[in-house]
Structure 1
Amino acid sequence: MAALFGQDALTDNGPGYAFSQAPSSAAGGIRERSFYPYTDNGGSTLGIAGEDFTILAGDTRSTSGYNINTRYAPKVFKIGGDDSEGTNATIILSVVGFAADGQILKERLDTIVKMYRYQHGKPMSVKACAQRLSTILYGKRFFPYYVHAILGGLDEEGKGALYSYDPVGSYEREQCRAGGAAASLIMPFLDNQVNFKNQYVPESGEGHALQERPRVPLKRKETEELVRDAFTSAVERHIEVGDGLQMLVVTKDGVEEIYSPLKRD
């Protein structure tokens, strides 16, 4: 180890470097050193839009590799409330990936939505906020926020609205979406239970003649149980998910926060 930090560890005439990737020397003495500004802090989020509500949920574990940084790092937030606690907020946001980028993105969007309220005397609609978030992400496309964002709220008709994004601002309105470390485990479950994919009426036919199950909007309590089931299953299979489950539920009465414990190992 002493040689690694010594005078001639990696160079002939200068101090050594402890980079994970040693400088490479090419013809003419040119050296290349790499820099990667991102990290993945683990965790997962999901969102479900109901008939008159929207739920965003995320676990509270933050990791770096095999290390747990903290067991309580929220990934779902109220946007555009009257104060720092998000009082009277009507929009919610989840971010998962690089925690620092997620925090900055959340604070930037929160500031924009609050300024809109002060300037126009009314809250920003979730549709307008979804477009604004897309613009923010696209504006950083050459050095993007390393996060998977999901935005939720109620639309002009009072129905649940959910928008999912890629890191450079492309987005679409969906019924449900999962993101983060355990997205590949949770999304098939949501496709089946929320989007009713591969669900058929028993004894309604044979082969391709089977009748699909009617797509009835889920009730709030039923949806909350689905969210808990999804994360309970994910923590059994993924080490970067766990500790606690935080849910934000948007209804016509406001935003309600629900916390449930998850496995801590």
Structure 2
Amino acid sequence: GKFGIMAFDFFHDEQGHPNRELSTFHVPNEYVMTIAKKNPDIFFPIISIHPYREDATTALRHYAQQGVRFVKWLPNSMGIHPASETMQDKLVPYYRIMKEYDMVLISHTGVEVATEAEEFQRFGNPLLLKKPLDMGVKIVMAHVASLGECEKQEETLCPPGTPYIDLAIQMLEDPKYAGLVFADISALTQYNRHHNLDKVLSKPSIHSRLINGSDYPLPAINIVIQTRSLVSSDHINSEERAALNEIYDYNPLLFDFVLKRTLRHSKTGKKFPPSVFVEHPDLPTG
């Protein structure tokens, strides 16, 4: 398989204006397109186009016609409400183009802590993605919404205190969204998320909807994935930890992959099936 490399758009307000001060970082679409074109056997491009942009649908169609099939959003950080009633004139045409070209939206779900997002954390509620799903758009819920829970201001969507990950799992199990909704397991091994590993490992009903993701470059930040904690939680053993740490010193991206192939449910010993780590038959190949 190939590696997907992601662009990352600016935060935009509802008038479609970019706000650099509220944008933690920016990776231009043409940058990832250039890298992918130079290395087509290694990479495929994942573009990022904010739907509130004045040129959003034009840009989306432009890249779709070049064969791009994946789009990245981080709603909490970019200021995107995926089901906003007041932004339907922007969102609906955007989703229609995605459906027309069989494009896949890779959208962060759950609370975001790596980038500026505090004011818009509720935009990470996975239930908001039902709008594009109901229009036939394929969605990959990044991180299986493994951080955060419904707040009081979201009580019309879900009871306050409901873990976002439970909502994501319900969507993955919903036969209505078979062939449309998926989730990646990126970030699940990070120290602030790995308490949810057992919840995902214990649900074989959703494993056919899971794909691998690295959340790179975060695995290369040593403190983010703590193998000692994973031993303490019985997801790996001490011997495996020693081997994994040695791999980490050589290649953090390889470490991330081997760790996910190695870890197991703390009680039952169940692992992620091999299908999680190969190209998914229901998703474009990039």
For the criterion TM > 0.5, the same-fold answer is no
Larger radius of gyration: 1
Question: Relative contact order: is structure 1 or structure 2 higher (C-alpha 8 Å, sep ≥ 6)?
Answer: 1
Q: TM-score, normalised by structure 1?
A: 0.28
TM-score, normalised relative to structure 2:
0.27
Hey, which of these two has a bigger chunk of helix by percent? 2
Which structure dedicates a bigger proportion of its chain to strand? 1
